[in-house]
Amino acid sequence: MTGEAREVDVLIVGAGPAGLAAGAELAAATAGRVEILEREQEAGGIPRHCHHGGFGGRLDRSAYAWASAAGSAYARRGTTGPDFARRGVAAAVAAGAALRTGVTVTGWAGPRTVETTGPAGLERITARAVILATGARERPRSARLIPGARPPGVYTTGELQQAVHLYGQRIGTTAVVVGDEPVGHAAVATLRAAGVHVVAMVTDRTAPALRLRSPRVPLLTGATVTGLTGRARLSGVALRHEDGRTTTLRCDTVVLTGDFVPDHELARRGEILLDPGTRGPAYDAAHRTSRPGVFAVGNLLHAVERAGYAAQEGRAVAVPVLHRLAGTEGPAGGGRRLVVDAPLRWIAPNMTGPDGARPPGDRFVLRTWRRLPRPLLVVSQDGRELHRQRLLSTAVPGRPFTLRADWVDHVDPDGTDVRITAL
Amino acid sequence: MTVTLTTAGPLPPLDDAEGTYDVAVVGAGVVGAAVARELARHRLRTALIDASDDIGNATSKANTAILHTGFDAAPGSLEARLVREGRDLLAAYAAETGIPVERVGALLVAWDEDQLAALPGLRDKAERNGYHASRIIGADELRAREPHLGPGALGALDVPDESIICPWTTPLAFATQAVRAGVHLHLNCRVRDVTADADGHTLTTSRGPLRARYLVNAAGLHADEIDRLLGHDVFTVTPRRGQLVVFDKLARPLVGHILLPVPGPAGKGVLVAPTVFGNVLLGPTAEELDDKTATGSTADGIRLLREKGRRIVPGLLDEEVTAVYAGLRAATGQEDYRIQEYPGLRYVAVGGIRSTGLTASMAIGRHVIALLTAVGLDPGEPHDLPPLTMPNLGEAFPRPYRDAALIAGDPAYGTLVCHCEQVTLGEIRDALASTIPPHSPDGLRRRTRARGGRCQGFYCGAAVRALFEEERP
Ligand SMILES: Cc1cc2nc3c(=O)[nH]c(=O)nc-3n(C[C@H](O)[C@H](O)[C@H](O)COP(=O)(O)OP(=O)(O)OC[C@H]3O[C@@H](n4cnc5c(N)ncnc54)[C@H](O)[C@@H]3O)c2cc1C
Ligand SMILES: Cc1cc2nc3c(=O)[nH]c(=O)nc-3n(C[C@H](O)[C@H](O)[C@H](O)COP(=O)(O)OP(=O)(O)OC[C@H]3O[C@@H](n4cnc5c(N)ncnc54)[C@H](O)[C@@H]3O)c2cc1C
């Protein structure tokens, strides 16, 4: 491969809410040439095809509660996805960031040098700071190891929304939605907009994750998908219920929702350390990854939060990036990893900074695999307890809860990993 | 070059007096396509017909994609000979046409003392099969060459020439070259009945009758049924399902070679192998079934594979799974191919092409021409076919998205549509306009890899379908 070699001050990979917000903030702070690369033909990220409300608006701590499915009217708060995307693009461009769409970052050619492909050719771009904002995707059927036949008619929410809202494609007549998180309700709304009858929503959880309801759609809890049937077209979804009963729901469409995984390919190709819980880059409160000068923001770090939260992280990364550009960044190294014990699933950020930097809102965000009524969270290092805190509510899978960060100063920078346990 | 490719409606009449093909080949899998390509080298009117809407759409699309040396074949069998010959033919053909092949080598890993003790026997068998490059290596060398192998491996038989190949480009190359050289390809054309008379055969198909002087039966899993229509009862095909799990490309650094188990009484066993697309394959299972359509995967199958995989390369299980699929081998109860010519009938049956048919395909093609000649066909002198270059789907060879000159000439090669597999608009456009275009999004995937990656369409599914539908409303 040959290609043009260029240099910029800040290079941002991904023009979703996080990347666009970072670009807007840094360009406005006159950080030099700030360039955002987006592989899709249009910038905006996931919100481009979320034709429902619930984007932006006031940010509450339960960041994930983006959709209150009352009727088909999604959360009256905030705006629609495409609108949110347009605003993000306009803000970045108005601030002076260079936004280039249809350009894919395909790999690394140096610690802060990326290789790109676009219709205008190949490039090698070296930046003083790189921000990864590559987002997240839903796990497809294969990654969830759902057995059975492989007929057409199997979707993730992302593909469904694009098919309906961006391409106006025919979907089918009857559908089953797997998953009852907000994104599942968004899928129900999209299916209805496409004239598809939704037979049921199913979840293997015994209690619904959230008190959300899509009216007229039965919610089957404690039901595991055991297989898909059909040849030329999907004909049904086989389920096993908690009591061992098995049934098959007849349908020609199934949408597999939720179960997000960060799009961490570029991070891994750059040998950036990942957090085993989030599967995104390990990062500290200043959004620094294990590679100096490479920062990460948005759903890449913790699939998946609200768009507004991703944008907030994008704005927050500006300060540490400016420090980097000015040469006033805190010393590298010394960060301790934060590790969680099961049934806790992950914590973010998952490194402490050497300079005691605190996460946004002075809180860490956590997820759990299991329901935990009023858990006691204990933070320790080398057997030494740093903090304990009783949660007043129930922690449920698929929804974030938080841990205060005021113990960070007590972390021994020469000690081992910091453990978080739920009792 | 006039290409005759039909997919619907009554079969077009032939413009010769009798309306008769010289040869009809039933089944456009890798074997039938190889036979048709071989026939295309002669001045013959040949028809290649398949029940499916695409070539290579049955067993040939769902295998482990290994170009075997034949080191472990049953010495002296027809299969052993055709695999050995086929391997050399296909390796040379791949180099000529751009079918991706990587000579990664295989290691037959011994996990216990019994298996270790079996290695010399396997090496001797390889020698009897005319393969002389294999050698036994110890635990240390094994670990140095495969650092991610699970604990407890005692040694291995090193077979340096085992290779991996693209299973989709191979039959497509054969069929493309055949139709460009004048072979008629009729898809969606199921053979329902065959009647023989003194001059040849009349095939009753789902698209009307077709006459041919000579008949080749390469119907894969259904070869026994076609054979019975001709009055034989010599073999029965029982499908032997093989389920496979494909791991993400990020797993590729974990596996350097094709990691084979030492074969035991239960058959060849489960392997871990790289693919030319840069993924890692785990499988296949071996399940005797009676349903020739049972190409689904099962929870038990996946569980078994994950158990075996965890032993072989533990780190593999932490990687994302990109695909789960199953193929059906054509088992006939005999440890060899069932290739048989019938002089009175002007007919050759190509049955029981079990688990090595991709490797042996070109040698089977040559063998079938010899058998057709033996039953009376005069093929005349062979001529060379015009050269062919296939689009490269292999990760070890230059792909369009990295080719500055190509993009400079046409920006469509710099426009990525499928991000996970880095497939460009130019490649999709080319596939849709190719000699044998795809008739489904899956067919497009086998020609370009579009929508075949880790996100399985979360990002590009709708866009790829739009491009496909634009081309064929
Ligand atoms: C179906 C669905 C419904 C949702 N509904 C809501 C809602 O109602 N309200 C709400 O607040 N949130 C909602 N969300 C969540 C919200 O969309 C995300 O939080 C937000 O989009 C995350 O922003 P991001 O910038 O981190 O990632 P993304 O929006 O995913 O953007 C990442 C961008 O990076 C690009 N990219 C990736 N790799 C490369 C590369 N190598 N080179 C160039 N570009 C690259 C991608 O193409 C993409 O455009 C929803 C999410 C989904 C999936
Ligand atoms: C799990 C698995 C792993 C394997 N691994 C390898 C490997 O690593 N290396 C290797 O060399 N080989 C391998 N093989 C074997 C190889 O895939 C097969 O030998 C080969 O694909 C057989 O090709 P075929 O053309 O005979 O059959 P098929 O590909 O099945 O083609 C037969 C065709 O006949 C058509 N047909 C059937 N009935 C009719 C009818 N009545 N009318 C019209 N058309 C009809 C079908 O539609 C089909 O297209 C493997 C096989 C399996 C299942």
Structure tokens at A403: 């841990």
The band of A353, judged by pLDDT with boundaries at 50, 70 and 90, is confident
**Chain segment B363-372, per-residue pLDDT in tens:** 999 999 999 9
* Digit-coded pLDDT (tens) for B113-171: 999 999 999 999 999 999 999 999 999 999 999 999 999 999 999 999 999 999 999 99
The answer, yes or no, to whether any atom of ligand 2 lies below 6 A from the CB of B27, is yes
Q: What percent of chain A has pLDDT over 70?
A: 92
For residue A73, pLDDT over 70 is answered with no
Residue B358 Cα: closest atom of ligand 2: 11
For residue A56, the ligand closest to its alpha carbon is 1
Buried b / exposed e along A325-352 (16+ C-beta atoms within 10 A): beeebbeeeebbbbbbeeebebbbbbbb
pLDDT value of residue B1: 73
The verdict on whether omega for the bond into residue A349 sits within 30 degrees of 0, i.e. cis, is yes
What's the whole-number mean pLDDT along residues A314-333?
89
What whole-number distance in Å separates Cα of residue A90 and Cα of residue B51?
A: 54
Which one of A39, A120, A155 has the shortest CB-CB distance to B416?
A: A39
CA A314 to chain CA centroid, nearest Å:
13
State the average pLDDT for chain A. 91
Look at residues B256, B296, B265 and name the one whose alpha carbon lies nearest to residue B106.
B256
**Chain A residue set in contact with B, beta carbons under 8 Å:** 1-3, 39-40, 102, 104, 106, 117-122, 137-143, 145, 147-150, 152, 155-156, 158-159, 162-163, 166-167, 169, 226-227, 231, 261, 265, 268
**pLDDT attached to residue A332:** 60
> Could you identify the atom of ligand 2 that is nearest to the CA of residue B284?
1
Catalytically annotated residue among B68, B184, B367, B439 = B68
CA of B351 to the centre of ligand 2 (A): 10
CA-CA distance, B173 to B389, in Å (whole number)?
8
Peptide bond just before A304 cis, omega within 30 deg: yes
Residue type, A394: T
What pLDDT score was predicted for residue A206? 82
At A114-167, the pLDDT tens digits run 999 999 999 999 999 999 999 999 999 999 999 999 999 999 999 999 999 999
- The per-residue pLDDT for A305 is 86
pTM for the complete prediction? Answer: 0.96
The answer on pLDDT for B108 being more than 60 is yes
d(CA A321, CA A80): 30
Q: B39-76, pLDDT tens digit by residue? A: 999 999 999 999 999 999 999 999 999 999 999 999 99
Q: Is the pLDDT of residue B277 over 80?
A: yes
| A74 pLDDT tier (thresholds 50, 70, 90) | very low
Span B239-254, average pLDDT: 97
* pLDDT for A62 beyond 90: no
Q: What is the mean pLDDT of residues B207-216?
A: 97
Nearest-atom index, ligand 1, CA of A44: 49
Q: Are B210 and B10 in contact (CB under 8 A)?
A: no
Mutate to test the interface with B, among A46, A142, A248 (most CBs of B within 10 A): A142
- pLDDT (mean) for B246-267: 92
- Pick from A63-72, B164-173, B179-188, B375-384: least confident: A63-72
| Burial class of residue A30 in the structure, from the number of CB atoms within 10 Å of its CB (0-12 exposed, 13-18 middle, 19+ buried) | exposed
- Which residues contact residue A314 at a Cβ distance below 8 angstroms, ignoring those fewer than 6 apart? A17, A18, A19, A20, A21, A22, A23, A24, A25, A133, A297, A298
With a CB cutoff of 8 Å and minimum separation 6, the contacts of A286 are A295, A317, A319, A320, A330, A353, A355, A357
Residue A288 has pLDDT above 90, yes or no: yes
Separation of alpha carbons B152 and B143, rounded Å? 10
Which of B315 and A79 is assigned the larger pLDDT? B315
**pLDDT of residue A215 exceeding 90:** no
- Residue B438 alpha carbon to ligand 1 centre in Å: 32
The count of other CB atoms within 10 Å of the CB of residue B318 is 11
CA B58 to chain centre: 9
A363-372, B34-43, B356-365: range with lowest mean pLDDT? A363-372
Q: Which residue of A has its CA nearest to B319?
A: A143
How is A2-30 classified by DSSP, letter by letter?
Answer: --EEEEEEEEEE--SHHHHHHHHHHHHTT
* Gap between the Cα atoms of B164 and A253, Å rounded: 36
Q: For ligand 1, say whether the CB of A186 is within 6 Å of any of its atoms.
A: yes
How many Å lie between the centroid of ligand 1 and the Cα of residue A46? Answer: 4
- Is A121 close to B415, i.e. CB distance below 8 A? no
> Per-residue pLDDT for B416 more than 70?
yes
Within 10 angstroms of residue A362's Cβ, the number of other Cβ atoms is 12
CA-nearest residue for atom 20, ligand 2, is B357
Q: How far is the CA of A45 from the centre of ligand 1 (A)?
A: 4
* Predicted local distance difference test score (pLDDT) of residue A63: 37
Residue A212 binned pLDDT confidence (cut-offs 50, 70, 90): low
Determine the Cα–Cα distance for residues A122 and A103; give it in Å rounded to an integer.
Answer: 9
Question: Mean pLDDT, to the nearest integer, of B190-200?
Answer: 94
What is the reported pLDDT for A65? 43
Q: Which string of DSSP letters, residue by residue, matches A122-184?
A: EEEEEEEEEEE---EEE--TTTTT--B---S-EEEHHHHHIIIIIT-----SEEEEE--SHHH
Q: Is this complex scored with an ipTM above 0.90? A: yes
Point out the ligand nearest to the CA of residue B365: 2
Active site residue B419: no
Is A3 close to B401, i.e. CB distance below 8 A? no
Identify residues of B whose CB sits under 8 angstroms from chain A CBs: 246, 250, 293, 295-299, 301-302, 320-325, 401-404, 407-408, 411-412, 414-416, 419-420, 422, 441, 454-459, 461-463, 465-466, 469
Whether residues B456 and A155 touch (CB distance < 8 A) is answered with no
Q: Which of A42, A162, A246 to mutate to test the interface with B (most CBs of B within 10 A)?
A: A162
pLDDT score of A223: 96
Mean model confidence pLDDT for chain B = 96
pLDDT of res. A334: 62
Scanning every residue of chain A, which has its alpha carbon at the shortest distance from the alpha carbon of B323?
A: A142
Q: How far apart are CA A4 and CA A11, in angstroms?
A: 16
Identify which ligand lies nearest to the alpha carbon of B287.
Answer: 2
pLDDT at A209: 54
Question: Can you give the pLDDT at residue A64?
Answer: 40
d(CA A127, CA B299): 47
How far, in Å, CA of A194 to CA of A173, rounded? 9
